C-alpha cells in the first residue's frame, strides 16, 4: 500500500484567490477549497500524450479561472494534485480512492488507458464525486458502464472509426487486417472500426490482439502480407509509444512496398514528432482537435507552449477545457457539491477553443463536439516546427459521436 500511496504526488500548491460568491449566494465550498486531481501516465507509453503537461494544463485553467473571477470567485483556494496510475487499473483504483477519500478531491481529470479509466468511473460512482475523462477512448464510459458522476469529454472509439475507418474504406481500402492492444481500448477500437468498415462496404479479414505495452510487432508485420486474401491496409489501433513502434516496424518490414497500406486509429502530434513526418506524410487520421486548427486554438496553444516548451496534444487541450468547464459550473452552482454541479453541467451548451458546438449530453454524459478528419502534411508544406496537420474536413458534432439512444447507457 505504501508503494501505491507514494505514487500520489501533489503537483500544485494552493493558489490564492479572492473570496465572495456568485449572484444569489455562495461560499458553500467544502473545506473552503476546491481540489482537482489529475491521474494519468507520468512515465510510460502515454506520458507524452498527457503526462505532466496535462497536469500543467489543469493548472493553467485554474490560473485563467481565477483571473476571470477575481472579484467574485466562489472559493478562496484551489489545489491541483496528480498521480501516476502506471496504466494499471488496480493502481488507478487505489489512487482515485485516495484522492477522493483521503485528500478530499472534488473532481478527477484526464486518465488515459481505458481499463484504468473504467476503474476510476466505478470509484467516482461509489464516492459520488465528479470525474472528467479526456484521455481514454472506450465507449463503455458512456455505454453500459456509464454513471451519473462520470463525463467522457474529448473523444472515443466511435468518433475515431466514423472518421478514419469510413473514409479509408470508401476510398478503396476494402480489406483490412487490424492489430490492437489487448485491453479495453483496443477491443473497443476493433469493434467500432469493424462496424464502420463493414457499413462502408469493406471487410476485416483478421484482427489480432497484441501485448500492452509492447515494443516488438514483428510477428504481425510478417503475417500481414501473407494473409489470403492480402489486406489493402494494416489497421493499427495502438496509441502513444506503442503506435510509434508499430509504424517504425511497418516501415522496417517494407509493408507499403508489399502492397499493404497503413491506417492509424488514433494519433497525436507527439507521435508524429517521434515517428517523423517523412514516414507519415499523407496519412489520414481523426482527431478531436489540433493546435493550429483556428486562431483561438493557436492563441491558446502559444500560451501553453510558452508555459511548457511544447505544443499541446488534444489531451492537453481537453484537460484544460474540462477543468475550466468544471470550475465555471462550480461558479454557477455556488458550491462544489457534486450533485449541484451536475445540474449545472447536464444539457449545458458551450463553445471554447477546444470544443466547438459542444454540449454536455445529459442522457449518457457524452460531451459531443465537432471532430476533424486530418492528414499528416508533406515536409515541404510545413510552415514551422510542429506544423504537422492539415484539415481534410470537419465532422459535425451531431455526426461525430453515436446517438444517446444507441449508447446502452442507463444513468439511474
pLDDT of residue 73: 65
pTM score of the predicted model: 0.92
pLDDT of residue 75: 67
Average pLDDT for the chain:
93
| Stretch 342-369: mean pLDDT | 98
Percent pLDDT > 90 in the chain is 91
Contact (Cβ atoms closer than 8 angstroms) between residue 17 and residue 77: yes
Residue length of the chain: 412
pLDDT in tens, 139-184: 999 999 999 999 999 999 999 999 999 999 999 999 999 999 999 9
| Stretch 120-140: mean pLDDT | 98
> pLDDT confidence of 404, banded at 50, 70, 90?
very high
Distance CA 29, CA 152 (A): 25
Contact (Cβ atoms closer than 8 angstroms) between residue 373 and residue 109: no
What letter would DSSP give residue 72? T
Share in percent of the chain as helix, strand, coil (round to 5): 40, 20, 40
- Per-residue pLDDT for 7 more than 70? no
The closest of 273, 304, 386 to 52, measured between CA atoms, is 304
List, in sequence order, every beta strand (DSSP E) within 237-334. 261-264, 284-287
Handedness of CA 273, 8, 104, 64 (dihedral sign): negative
Distance CA 103, CA 399 (A): 40
Out of 7-16, 89-98, 297-306, pick the least confident. Answer: 7-16
Residue 231, phi-psi category: left (phi > 0), alpha (psi -120 to 50), beta (remainder): beta
Is 36 strand, coil or helix?
strand
Q: 8 pairs with which residues across the strands?
A: 83
For residue 380, give the C-alpha cell.
515541404
pLDDT of residue 283: 95
Is 206 strand, coil or helix?
strand
175 or 412, higher pLDDT: 175
> pLDDT confidence of 71, banded at 50, 70, 90?
confident
pLDDT of residue 258: 98
| Residues 6+ away with beta carbon under 8 Å from 6 | none
Contact (Cβ atoms closer than 8 angstroms) between residue 154 and residue 54: no
Contact (Cβ atoms closer than 8 angstroms) between residue 138 and residue 184: yes
Give span(s): CATH 3.40.50.2300, the chain: 2-155+293-369, 158-287+371-400
pLDDT of residue 412: 66
What letter would DSSP give residue 154? S
| Stretch 40-56: mean pLDDT | 97
298 exposed, middle or buried (CB, 10 Å; 0-12, 13-18, 19+)?
middle
CA–CA distance from 367 to each of 126, 201, 400 (Å)?
A: 22, 29, 11
- Per-residue pLDDT for 11 more than 90? no
- Per-residue pLDDT for 70 more than 90? no
pLDDT in tens, 270-312: 999 999 999 999 999 999 999 999 999 999 999 999 999 999 9
Contact (Cβ atoms closer than 8 angstroms) between residue 286 and residue 159: yes
For residue 221, give the C-alpha cell.
508485420
| Stretch 90-94: mean pLDDT | 98
Options 3.30.70.270, 3.40.50.2300, 1.10.1040.10, 3.30.465.10; CATH of 2-155+293-369: 3.40.50.2300
pLDDT of residue 16: 33
pLDDT in tens, 222-251: 999 999 999 999 999 999 999 999 999 999
For residue 127, give the C-alpha cell.
464516492
CATH class of the domain whose range is 158-287+371-400: alpha beta
Give the CA-trace dihedral at 87, 323, 353, 54, to 10 degrees: -30
pLDDT in tens, 15-43: 333 333 333 334 489 999 999 999 999 99
Percent pLDDT > 70 in the chain is 93
Distance CA 79, CA 111 (A): 18
CA 388 to centroid of chain Cα atoms? 19
Out of 71-75, 85-89, 134-138, pick the least confident. Answer: 71-75
Amino acid at each position: 500500500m505504501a508503494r501505491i500511496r507514494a505514487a500520489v504526488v501533489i503537483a500544485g500548491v494552493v493558489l490564492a484567490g479572492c473570496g465572495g460568491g456568485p449572484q444569489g449566494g455562495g461560499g458553500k465550498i467544502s473545506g473552503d477549497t476546491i481540489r482537482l486531481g489529475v491521474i494519468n501516465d507520468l512515465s510510460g507509453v502515454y506520458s507524452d500524450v498527457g503526462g505532466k503537461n496535462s497536469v500543467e494544463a489543469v493548472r493553467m485553467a485554474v490560473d485563467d479561472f481565477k483571473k476571470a473571477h477575481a472579484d467574485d470567485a466562489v472559493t478562496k483556494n484551489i489545489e491541483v494534485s496528480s498521480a501516476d496510475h502506471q496504466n494499471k487499473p488496480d493502481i488507478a483504483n487505489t489512487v482515485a480512492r485516495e484522492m477522493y477519500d483521503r485528500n478530499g478531491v472534488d473532481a478527477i481529470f484526464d486518465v488515459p488507458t481505458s481499463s484504468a479509466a473504467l476503474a476510476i468511473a466505478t470509484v467516482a460512482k461509489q464516492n459520488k464525486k465528479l470525474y472528467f475523462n479526456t484521455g481514454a477512448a472506450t465507449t463503455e464510459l458512456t455505454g453500459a458502464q456509464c454513471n451519473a458522476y462520470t463525463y467522457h469529454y474529448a473523444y472515443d472509439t466511435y468518433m475515431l472509426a466514423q472518421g478514419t475507418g469510413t473514409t479509408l474504406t470508401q476510398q478503396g481500402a476494402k480489406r483490412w487486417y487490424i492489430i490492437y492492444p489487448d485491453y479495453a481500448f483496443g477491443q473497443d477500437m476493433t469493434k467500432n472500426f469493424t462496424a464502420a468498415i463493414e457499413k462502408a462496404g469493406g471487410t476485416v479479414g483478421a484482427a489480432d490482439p497484441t501485448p500492452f505495452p509492447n515494443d516488438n510487432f514483428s510477428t504481425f508485420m510478417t503475417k500481414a502480407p501473407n494473409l489470403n486474401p492480402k489486406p489493402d491496409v494494416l489497421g493499427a489501433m495502438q496509441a502513444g509509444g506503442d503506435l510509434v513502434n508499430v509504424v517504425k516496424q511497418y516501415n522496417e518490414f517494407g509493408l507499403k512496398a508489399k502492397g499493404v497500406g497503413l491506417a492509424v486509429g488514433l494519433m497525436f502530434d507527439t507521435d508524429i514528432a517521434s515517428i517523423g513526418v517523412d514516414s507519415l506524410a499523407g496519412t489520414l487520421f481523426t482527431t478531436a482537435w489540433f493546435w493550429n486548427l483556428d486562431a483561438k486554438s493557436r492563441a491558446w496553444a502559444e500560451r501553453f507552449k510558452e508555459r511548457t516548451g511544447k505544443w499541446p496534444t488534444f489531451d492537453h487541450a481537453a484537460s484544460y477545457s474540462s477543468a475550466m468547464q468544471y470550475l465555471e459550473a462550480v461558479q454557477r452552482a455556488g458550491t462544489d457539491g457534486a450533485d449541484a454541479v451536475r445540474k449545472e453541467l447536464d444539457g449545458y451548451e458551450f463553445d471554447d477553443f477546444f470544443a466547438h458546438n459542444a454540449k454536455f449530453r445529459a442522457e449518457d454524459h457524452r460531451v459531443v463536439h465537432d471532430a476533424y478528419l486530418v492528414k499528416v502534411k508533406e515536409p515541404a508544406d510545413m510552415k514551422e516546427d510542429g506544423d504537422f496537420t492539415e484539415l481534410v474536413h470537419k465532422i459535425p458534432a451531431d455526426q461525430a459521436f453515436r446517438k444517446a439512444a444507441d449508447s446502452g447507457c442507463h444513468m439511474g
